[in-house]
Amino acid sequence: MGQTMAQKIIAAHLVDGEMKPGAEVGLRIDQTLTQDATGTMAYLEFEAMGIPRVKTELSVAYIDHNTLQSGFMNADDHAFIRSIAKKIGVRYARPGCGICHQVHLERFAAPGKTLIGSDSHTPTAGGIGALAIGSGGLDVAVAMGGGAYYIPYPKALRITLTGSLPAYVGAKDIILEVLRRLTVKGGVGKIIEYAGPGVATLTVPQRATITNMGAELGATSSIFPSDENTRAFLKAQGREADFAPLAPDPDAVYDEELTIDLAALEPLAACPHSPDAVVPVRELADVKVDQCCIGSCTNSSLADMVTVARMLRGKTVDPSVSLTISPGSRQVLEMLSENGALTDILASGARLLECACGPCIGMGQSPSSGGVSLRTFNRNFEGRSGTADAKVYLVSPEVAAASALTGHITDPRSLPAVEPFEMPAAFAVNDNNIDLPATEAESAGLKITRGPNIKPLPQAQPLPDSLTLPVLLRVGDNITTDHIMPAGAKILPYRSNIPHLSQYCFEGVDPEFPARAKAAPEGCFIVGGINYGQGSSREHAALVPLYLGIRAVIVQSFARIHKANLVNAGLLPLEFENPADMDKLNQGDTITLEGILAGLDSGRVTLRTVGGEAVTLKCDLSSRQADIIRAGGLLNYTREKAEG
């Protein structure tokens, strides 16, 4: 039987497990990336494993999230990451270099390679034909140490693209259309492969916009073939040697299929507060706009920025709109400056921000109260912008620029056409802000810089066979990691300080929860609905509940990365066998879990409700994961294995 693209890469990197549905496969990882908001923790974890140098082909530490530096915390974390990266063999992309996914695509990602990153949008590199997967920081630490990275063997979904995009319809509209059809849980357990004649009409950065937002579908990863466009992109980056062709076998078998006619697409928008609440932009024409933000790892390529500049040329942004522009990398910014597009952007009255995540993660530029913000980003979860009642719409750069000019949501097709962007034959390559690590010989004498913001990691308690504890929080469906552990300018600087972070756990859902949990010294449970933990890869959404004494999270279903992070932290993830049983539990109930230790292997645990009724819970773990829980988390498990 022929293989899909992902199956080929998995087969070439398989170190454990069998490639069959329901199994867990362990992969050799060629490349890793971290960003600063998850990286500090990942490097602390690497250090705790006691391995002196990374064993990957390439590992890069980017500084792109915490660049506000209001107070010493961010700068201390940067200094820690820089010093440890140098010592252990990791490249360090300094602040200002750009957003990790954009820079990695430009400078390092390569077809056929495996990449894991401590950020959920790592599949951006699928646009160049890499098998790129987002994970928790501890998984990245283990992979840096040469350990395998495990995923449930994914299903294959093929999306066939036909035709070509009309003017003013972009790659963002393709992925918004996929989200409209499949919803935020439509990709769970799947790798999405793009195929068909429409693929050749898309450049690598356009493909990367699409694979980036596969994260919003809950997909394990998304991948495009590696073809002549891929070769041209790599050549223009001075990296033609990294090219390798990648295509599925003609008789590859897919579990699911979908076809999208690019020519039939129109500009789309994801409405507040979910990336799958997608409607045509023309239906939103009356909506007044307060802010437009162009950038993020989804839409900050040179092509995106130049198209925007052409739309803004000679015009003025509507006085009621604040338009911000964050180029994805210094390469993009330098080229905008060289070709004059930057002048068009600035002359329009736009506000130029740093090449970083910025507003996407609430690091500044929070909208006004109840304000409408159009963003070319990938997530519009409630409150993520930093303004609890802001209304965030996700759109293409073309829609954002058109709306910034008119002051209300605007279908760009109502504006004059601009000259289409041509990919350059050569990008402005200059890696002088990506520091190389020390050699092995040099590294021995190097000291690691550690500021006062860096606090010890919480440790899991051994699990007893039964637990009688209160349900201190009961939440509904699609709870995001932004709900569990919010980000934003106020909280993000404390990513290496779990005790401080803990006071903000579930802040937007139930601000009293941390105090209740702290007042229950024996511990407690959280109960939730479908797709619990969707969104970010932040392991803080597991480490903080661990610190607060949560012993098990009992839900209808989990998002993949969050479930893995719970296991890695040593926290028990349980799912209702019959989802309707969730209605038998109320917040405040004291319930009992029975037969936990046997359940780790049998896959079933019994829950007794307050009234004594038995409810069956699934404990869906591989034998490796069961061992991790028994060991009290992945760190202990890895140490125990190393000690033999």
**In angstroms, what is the minimal distance from the CB of 534 to ligand MIC?**
11
The Cα 636–Cα 644 span in angstroms is 12
505 binds, among ligand SF4, ligand MIC, none (CB under 5 to 8 A by kind): none
Q: Could you say whether residue 353 binds ligand SF4 (CB under 6 A)?
A: no
Q: Could you say whether residue 564 binds ligand MIC (CB under 6 A)?
A: no
Q: Could you say whether residue 67 binds ligand SF4 (CB under 6 A)?
A: no
- Smaller CB separation from ligand MIC, 411 or 482: 482
Site for ligand MIC in 476-515 (CB under 6 A): 487
Count CB neighbours of 26 within 10 A. 17
Closest CA to 128 of 229, 216, 57, 54: 229
- Smaller CB separation from ligand SF4, 223 or 361: 361
The answer to whether 225 touches 195, Cβ cutoff 8 Å, is yes
Backbone angles phi, psi at 554, to 5 degrees: -115, 115
**In angstroms, what is the minimal distance from the CB of 361 to ligand MIC?**
5
C-alpha distances in angstroms, 79 versus 63, 129, 190?
10, 33, 38
Site for ligand MIC in 25-44 (CB under 6 A): 37-38
538 binds, among ligand MIC, ligand SF4, none (CB under 5 to 8 A by kind): ligand MIC
Q: Could you say whether residue 361 binds ligand SF4 (CB under 6 A)?
A: yes
The number of C-alpha atoms within 13 Å of 542 and in the hemisphere containing its C-beta is: 34
Q: Cis link prior to 483 (omega < 30° from 0)?
A: no
- Taking CB under 6 A as the criterion, the residue among 299, 537, 556, 625 binding ligand MIC is 537
Q: Could you say whether residue 119 binds ligand SF4 (CB under 6 A)?
A: yes
Q: Could you say whether residue 121 binds ligand SF4 (CB under 6 A)?
A: yes
Closest CA to 29 of 47, 60, 55, 8: 55
**Residue written as token pair 């395998």:** 148
Structure tokens at 319: 């006085």
The answer to whether 135 touches 567, Cβ cutoff 8 Å, is no
- Smaller CB separation from ligand MIC, 381 or 427: 381
- Taking CB under 6 A as the criterion, the residue among 158, 330, 538, 560 binding ligand MIC is 538
The answer to whether 506 touches 513, Cβ cutoff 8 Å, is yes
- Smaller CB separation from ligand MIC, 120 or 206: 120
Residue 230 forms beta bridges with which residues? Answer: none
> With helix as H, strand as E and coil as C, how does 474-535 read?
ECCCCCEHHHHCCCCCCCHHHCCCHHHHHHHCCCCCCCCHHHHHHCCCCCEEEEECCCECEC
The answer to whether 471 touches 582, Cβ cutoff 8 Å, is no
Q: Could you say whether residue 617 binds ligand SF4 (CB under 6 A)?
A: no
99 binds, among ligand MIC, ligand SF4, none (CB under 5 to 8 A by kind): ligand SF4
The Cα 385–Cα 368 span in angstroms is 10
296 binds, among ligand SF4, ligand MIC, none (CB under 5 to 8 A by kind): ligand SF4
Judged on CB neighbours under 10 Å (0-12, 13-18, 19+), 228 is: exposed
Structure tokens at 197: 């004649």
**Residue written as token pair 């950065």:** 205
**In angstroms, what is the minimal distance from the CB of 436 to ligand MIC?**
25
Q: Could you say whether residue 357 binds ligand SF4 (CB under 6 A)?
A: yes
- Smaller CB separation from ligand MIC, 82 or 483: 483
Q: Could you say whether residue 216 binds ligand MIC (CB under 6 A)?
A: no
Q: Could you say whether residue 378 binds ligand SF4 (CB under 6 A)?
A: yes
- Smaller CB separation from ligand MIC, 56 or 536: 536
The secondary element (H helix, E strand) that includes residue 306 is helix 302-312
Applying CB under 6 A, the span of 105-113, 149-157, 323-331, 532-540 interacting with ligand MIC comes to: 532-540
- Smaller CB separation from ligand MIC, 70 or 337: 70
- Smaller CB separation from ligand SF4, 158 or 538: 538
Site for ligand SF4 in 86-115 (CB under 6 A): 99
Judged on CB neighbours under 10 Å (0-12, 13-18, 19+), 18 is: exposed
**In angstroms, what is the minimal distance from the CB of 146 to ligand SF4?**
26
Binding-residue total with ligand MIC (CB under 6 A): 14
**In angstroms, what is the minimal distance from the CB of 212 to ligand SF4?**
8
- Taking CB under 6 A as the criterion, the residue among 105, 217, 361, 544 binding ligand MIC is 361
Q: Could you say whether residue 360 binds ligand SF4 (CB under 6 A)?
A: yes
> With helix as H, strand as E and coil as C, how does 401-442 read?
HHHHHHCECCCHHHCCCCCCCCCCCCCCCCCCCEECCCCHHH
- Smaller CB separation from ligand MIC, 95 or 134: 134
Q: In what order do the strands lie in the sheet with 114-117?
A: 131-134, 114-117, 31-34, 58-62, 91-93, 434-435
Applying CB under 6 A, the span of 10-18, 275-283, 410-418, 530-538 interacting with ligand MIC comes to: 530-538
Structure tokens at 598: 């046997």
The answer to whether 493 touches 71, Cβ cutoff 8 Å, is yes
Structure tokens at 33: 């990336």
Q: Could you say whether residue 536 binds ligand MIC (CB under 6 A)?
A: yes
Q: Could you say whether residue 322 binds ligand SF4 (CB under 6 A)?
A: no
Q: Could you say whether residue 211 binds ligand SF4 (CB under 6 A)?
A: no
- Smaller CB separation from ligand MIC, 100 or 161: 100
Structure tokens at 365: 């530029």
- Smaller CB separation from ligand SF4, 212 or 453: 212
Site for ligand MIC in 104-163 (CB under 6 A): 119-121, 134
Stretch 280-319: interaction string toward ligand SF4, x if CB under 6 A:
----------------xx----------------------
Task: Give me the residues that bind ligand MIC (CB under 6 A), please.
Answer: 37-38, 65, 119-121, 134, 361, 379, 487, 535-538
Task: Give me the residues that bind ligand SF4 (CB under 6 A), please.
Answer: 65, 99, 119, 121, 296-297, 357, 360-361, 377-378
